[in-house]
């Protein structure tokens, strides 16, 4: 049986992935295109090809090699100068909003010491698997695969790691099997420490989104984060104002406990895009606690996150074409 006849023994869907097939003295070497296949599907494909071709007359050995085109991934960092400004909530909801827009996106929770994405995305207690010495991200109901130290360390256990260990952990989370993901959003820890420096050195993002609450103190800290990205040659895609305006659930009156407009004014002064603002609502807080990101729904909060995601993509396009 010649090479073409052997190829015809494979189902059409499998034959479409054959890059080359050569037979010599009963030994068949098949090169398959595994682009876009998760680890378990690759293993299943390899086993099927070996079984089908190994059963053909004159075939005594089948060797299968897998090749895949490396997808072009865009890393986007979401940072702030301080904690408590809603950075993790923004990152998770941006990822979900992008997914709902048809984009393939993964999420890295780089807050090594205080991971919160498992809670926000509703997959606490799940554990990633490994394939070829790389992690396979944990899935979520919202179409966003995610990796977090919260998936690797027992809940409630404190980490006492020095900077190099944290940097190495970040590398394992980023260099994972992200499949067809075109965007990887990185939820950075607050501040400008070792994790941020390690990311700039080894995994330079295509851009950064800065989130802050409107008050002056938070803006001062946010500017430090912007300076770090600027020193590393990472363009700022824009600023997001969080906790902007609180609507009383009883009377509907809107108040501004953290002021309003400060981030938009700062963006104007710094000549940076203002991506949008997120209101201070009980719905966003409770949704995060319950593992149901507001961006997965259809309310005004979901619309706010969707508009920010669109503005971020537009800013990215204007910088990178």
pLDDT single digits (tens) 11-65: 998 999 999 999 998 999 999 988 777 777 888 999 999 999 999 999 999 999 8
Res. 120: pLDDT tops 50:
yes
What pTM value is reported for the model? 0.74
pLDDT top residue among 166 and 299: 299
Q: How far is it, in rounded angstroms, from Cα 298 to Cα 287?
A: 13
First to last CA, the chain: 50
Give me the DSSP letters along 15-45. HTTEEEEEEETTEEEEEEE-TT--HHHHHHH
Cross-strand bridge partners of residue 210: 79, 239
pLDDT tens string 217-234: 567 878 888 888 988 899
Contacts of 81 (CB under 8 A, 6+ apart): 190, 191, 192, 212, 218, 220, 221, 222, 223, 224, 225
CA distances 62 to 21, 72, 259, Å, are 10, 32, 68
pLDDT digits (tens, 9 = 90+) for 132-159: 888 899 999 999 999 998 887 665 554 4
Of 212, 185, 190, give the one whose Cα is nearest residue 293: 185
Query: Residue 86 in contact with residue 211, Cβ under 8 Å?
Result: yes
Q: Average pLDDT for residues 81-94, to the nearest whole number?
A: 87
Helices and strands (H, E) in the chain, number of each type? 11, 13
Ordered domains of the chain (ranges, CATH): 3-67 (3.30.300.130), 74-320 (3.40.50.300)
């Amino acid at each position: 049986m010649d090479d073409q006849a052997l190829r015809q023994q494979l189902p059409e869907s499998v034959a479409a992935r054959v890059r080359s097939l050569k037979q010599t003295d009963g030994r068949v070497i098949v090169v398959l295109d595994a682009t876009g296949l998760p680890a378990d599907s690759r293993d299943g494909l390899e086993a099927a090809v070996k079984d089908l071709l190994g059963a053909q007359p004159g075939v005594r050995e089948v060797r299968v090699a897998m090749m895949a085109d490396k997808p072009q991934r865009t890393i986007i960092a979401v940072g702030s100068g301080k904690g408590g400004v809603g950075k993790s909530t923004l990152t998770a909801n941006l990822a979900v909003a992008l997914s709902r827009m048809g984009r393939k996106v993964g999420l890295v929770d780089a807050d090594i010491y205080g991971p919160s994405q498992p809670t926000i995305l509703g997959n606490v207690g799940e554990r990633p698997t490994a394939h070829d010495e790389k992690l396979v991200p944990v899935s979520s109901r919202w179409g966003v695969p995610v990796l977090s130290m919260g998936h690797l360390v027992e809940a409630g256990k404190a980490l006492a790691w020095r900077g190099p260990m944290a940097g190495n952990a970040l590398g394992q989370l980023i260099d994972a099997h992200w499949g067809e993901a075109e965007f990887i959003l990185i939820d950075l820890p607050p501040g400008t420490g070792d994790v941020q420096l390690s990311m700039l050195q080894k995994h330079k993002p295509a851009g950064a989104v800065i989130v802050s609450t409107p008050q002056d103190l938070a803006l001062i800290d946010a500017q430090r984060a912007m300076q770090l990205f600027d020193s590393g040659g990472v363009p700022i895609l824009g600023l997001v104002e969080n906790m902007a305006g609180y609507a009383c659930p009883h009377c509907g009156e809107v108040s501004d406990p953290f002021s309003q407009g400060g981030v938009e004014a700062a963006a104007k002064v710094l000549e940076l895009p203002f991506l949008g603002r997120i209101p201070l609502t009980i719905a966003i807080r409770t949704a995060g606690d319950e593992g149901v990101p507001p961006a997965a729904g259809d309310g005004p909060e979901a619309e706010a996150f969707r508009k920010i995601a669109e503005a971020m993509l537009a800013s990215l396009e204007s910088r990178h074409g």
